[in-house]
A and B are shown apart, each in its own frame.
Chain A
Amino acid sequence: MGLKTTLKVCLGTAFTVFAISATSVSAHAEGKMASPQLLVSNCFNCHGYMGDSAGVIDELSSLPERRIVKKMVDFKSGEKPSTIMSRIAKGYSDSEIEAMAKYLAAANAK
Chain B
Amino acid sequence: MFTTSRRDFLRITGAAGALSALSLSGCQSKARVVVIGGGFGGATAAKYVKWFDPSIDVTLIDASKTYTTCPFSNLVLGGIRSLASITHNFDAQAGRGVNVVNDMVTGVDTAKQIVMTKGGAKIPYDRLIMSPGIDFKYDTIEGYDATVAEAIPHAWKAGTQTAILRQQLEAMPDGGTVIIAPPPNPFRCPPGPYERASMIAYYLKMAKPKSKLLILDSKDKFSKQGLFQEGWALHYKDIIEWVPASKDGKVRRVDAASKTFHTEFTAHKGDVLNYIPAQKAADIAFKAGLTNQLGWCPVHFQTFESTLVKNVHVIGDASIATKMPKSGNAANTQAKVCAAAVADLLNGREPGTPTTTNTCYSLITKDYGISVTAVYKQSDKGYMPVAGAGGLSPKGEGPEFRQLEAKYARGWYANIAQDIWG
CB neighbours of B386 from chain A (8 A): 24-27, 90-91
What's the interface size class on B, roughly? 35 or more
- Cα(A49)–Cα(B336), bound, Å: 12
Asked if B311 is at the interface (CB within 8 A of a chain A CB), the reply is: no
Identify B340's interface contact among A25, A38, A47, CB under 8 A: A38
B371 touches A84 (CB 8 A): yes
CB neighbours of B373 from chain A (8 A): 84, 87-88
- Cα(A42)–Cα(B415), bound, Å: 12
Which A residues lie at the B interface, using CB under 8 A? 3, 6, 10-11, 14, 19-27, 29-35, 37-39, 41-42, 44-49, 52-57, 83-84, 87-92, 96
Asked if B355 is at the interface (CB within 8 A of a chain A CB), the reply is: yes
A25 touches B387 (CB 8 A): yes
Identify B415's interface contact among A6, A19, A34, A48, CB under 8 A: A48
- Cα(A91)–Cα(B358), bound, Å: 12
Most chain B CB neighbours (cut-off 10 Å) among A37, A45, A49, A54: A45
Chain A binding surface SS class: loop
- Closest CB in chain A relative to B188 CB, distance in Å: 17
B residues 364-422 touching A (CB-CB < 8 Å): 371, 373-375, 377-379, 381, 384-391, 393, 401, 404-405, 407-408, 410-412, 414-416, 418-419, 422
Interface stretch of the complex, out of B1-9, B233-241, B256-264: B1-9
Identify B379's interface contact among A29, A34, A46, CB under 8 A: A29
- Cα(A57)–Cα(B359), bound, Å: 13
Asked if B247 is at the interface (CB within 8 A of a chain A CB), the reply is: no
B353 touches A54 (CB 8 A): no
- Closest CB in chain B relative to A63 CB, distance in Å: 16
B340 touches A83 (CB 8 A): no
Chain B, residues 350-361, CB within 8 Å of chain A (1/0): the string is 001111110100
A46 touches B3 (CB 8 A): no
Asked if B333 is at the interface (CB within 8 A of a chain A CB), the reply is: yes
- Cα(A37)–Cα(B353), bound, Å: 12
Identify B359's interface contact among A11, A24, A39, A84, CB under 8 A: A84
- Closest CB in chain A relative to B60 CB, distance in Å: 17
A47 touches B415 (CB 8 A): yes
Question: Closest A-chain residue to B414, C-beta based?
Answer: A54
CB neighbours of A29 from chain B (8 A): 2, 377, 379
Question: Closest B-chain residue to A56, C-beta based?
Answer: B411
B415 touches A54 (CB 8 A): yes
CB neighbours of A6 from chain B (8 A): 3
- Cα(A6)–Cα(B274), bound, Å: 54
B336 touches A31 (CB 8 A): no
- Closest CB in chain B relative to A43 CB, distance in Å: 9
- Closest CB in chain B relative to A68 CB, distance in Å: 16
Identify B411's interface contact among A14, A20, A46, CB under 8 A: A46
- Cα(A91)–Cα(B375), bound, Å: 5
Asked if B323 is at the interface (CB within 8 A of a chain A CB), the reply is: yes
Question: Closest A-chain residue to B361, C-beta based?
Answer: A84
A10 touches B416 (CB 8 A): no
B384 touches A24 (CB 8 A): yes
CB neighbours of A26 from chain B (8 A): 386-387
* Known A21-B387, A46-B416: A83·B353 in contact at CB below 8 Å: no
Asked if B69 is at the interface (CB within 8 A of a chain A CB), the reply is: no
B333 touches A45 (CB 8 A): yes
A39 touches B384 (CB 8 A): no
A25 touches B357 (CB 8 A): no
A55 touches B385 (CB 8 A): no
B residues 1-44 touching A (CB-CB < 8 Å): 1-4, 6
B374 touches A45 (CB 8 A): no
A55 touches B414 (CB 8 A): yes
CB neighbours of A91 from chain B (8 A): 357, 374-375, 385-386, 389-390
Question: Closest B-chain residue to A39, C-beta based?
Answer: B355
- Cα(A44)–Cα(B393), bound, Å: 21
- Cα(A19)–Cα(B384), bound, Å: 13
B412 touches A55 (CB 8 A): no
B357 touches A45 (CB 8 A): yes
Contacts A23-B323, A38-B336, A42-B375 aside, 4 further interface pairs with beta carbons under 8 A come to A27-B377, A31-B2, A57-B415, A90-B375
B residues 63-91 touching A (CB-CB < 8 Å): none
CB neighbours of B422 from chain A (8 A): 49
* Known A47-B415, A49-B422, A54-B415: A88·B355 in contact at CB below 8 Å: no
Q: Could you name 13 residue pairs across A and B whose Cβ atoms are closer than 8 Å? A: A22-B381, A24-B384, A27-B389, A30-B2, A31-B353, A35-B352, A42-B357, A45-B357, A45-B419, A83-B393, A84-B371, A90-B390, A91-B386
